[in-house]
Amino acid sequence: MHGMRLPASRRGFYARRSATLGALLALCAGLLFLSAPTAQAAPPTPPSATTARSYLASLTVRAEGSSDGYSRDKFPHWITQSGTCNTREVVLKRDGTNVVQDSSCAATSGRWYSPYDGATWYAASDVDIDHVVPLAEAWRSGASSWTTSKRQSFANDLSIAQLIAVTDNVNQSKGDKDPAEWMPPRSTYHCTYARMWVWVKHSYGLSVDSAEKSRLSSVLSGC
């Protein structure tokens, strides 16, 4: 059998079939390449758990202050960041994948992965920009004594992990709760969330209450 040659007609058949299969495999490979997800963008990377633990140890511990006088209007947002783009639109572009914006900077298409709950969204209207440390929480932790200018900076800060695009109803369920009262539904994100929270409070010299510190310490010890 090893010395036998196939008839020319049969050799032509197998050659054509091989070429067809090769073309199909190349096409499939190309489609897979085109559909492969790009790396998910994210807020600035928070400090390591070790650094976060040292930051947490340095924070002032005191009972939460009053909400008297609080208003979101005292933390002006979303402000213009560049051109016609405000803070929300900048974060949507930063945290999304293949985001297309119109001439007014509004996101018209794209994909957003919410690390809080693991959901993916394809409409910007399904996504909220969460203040990791909520504005009301900041007010009760020291921001009530700030100038309006400093509160504006806090509410629009892109230099630290204070703003992140997440599922709207998950953000709404969080409200103004601290980590002793609420953590992201996706437990694998707890370490990152705690590091983000501590980074923000440390950056702005905000206080923590004892229950908040205890919860953060517990999470960070397991990172």
Asked if pLDDT for residue 24 goes beyond 80, the answer is no
Contact 200, 44 (CB under 8 A): no
3-state SS, residue 160: coil
Asked if pLDDT for residue 22 goes beyond 70, the answer is no
The rounded mean pLDDT for the chain is 87
Q: For 165-186, what is each residue's pLDDT tens digit?
A: 999 999 999 999 999 999 999 9
Distance, in Å, from the CA atom of 175 to the CA atom of 196, rounded to the nearest integer, reads 17
Asked if pLDDT for residue 217 goes beyond 70, the answer is yes
Chain centre distance of CA 28 = 32
pLDDT at 86: 97
Indicate if 25 and 101 belong to the same structural domain: no
pLDDT at 162: 98
3-state SS, residue 178: coil
Burial class (CB in 10 A: 0-12, 13-18, 19+), 107: buried
Mean pLDDT of 142-156: 98
Contact 82, 96 (CB under 8 A): no
pLDDT at 214: 98
Asked if pLDDT for residue 96 goes beyond 50, the answer is yes
> Within the chain, how many helices (H) and strands (E) appear?
8, 7
Asked if pLDDT for residue 154 goes beyond 70, the answer is yes
pLDDT at 40: 54
Number of domains in the chain: 2
Local structure of residue 111 (DSSP, 8 states): E
pLDDT at 124: 97
Indicate if 27 and 97 belong to the same structural domain: no
Indicate if 24 and 123 belong to the same structural domain: no
pLDDT at 41: 66
Tell me which H or E stretch contains 109: strand 107-114
Tell me which H or E stretch contains 131: strand 127-131
Indicate if 7 and 57 belong to the same structural domain: no
Indicate if 4 and 113 belong to the same structural domain: no
Best CA proximity match to 96, nearest among 83, 109, 84: 109
Backbone φ and ψ for 142, nearest 5 degrees, come out as 135, -20
Indicate if 23 and 53 belong to the same structural domain: no
Q: Give the structural domain span for 30.
A: 1-36
Indicate if 23 and 45 belong to the same structural domain: no
Q: For 32-88, what is each residue's pLDDT tens digit?
A: 333 333 445 689 999 999 999 999 999 999 999 999 999 999 999 999 999 999 999
Indicate if 176 and 114 belong to the same structural domain: yes
Indicate if 67 and 6 belong to the same structural domain: no
Indicate if 104 and 10 belong to the same structural domain: no
Indicate if 76 and 48 belong to the same structural domain: yes
Considering only residues 140 and 8, tell me which one the structure prediction assigns the higher pLDDT: 140
pLDDT at 23: 41
Indicate if 27 and 102 belong to the same structural domain: no
Share of the chain above pLDDT 70, in %: 82
Best CA proximity match to 131, nearest among 153, 106, 98: 153
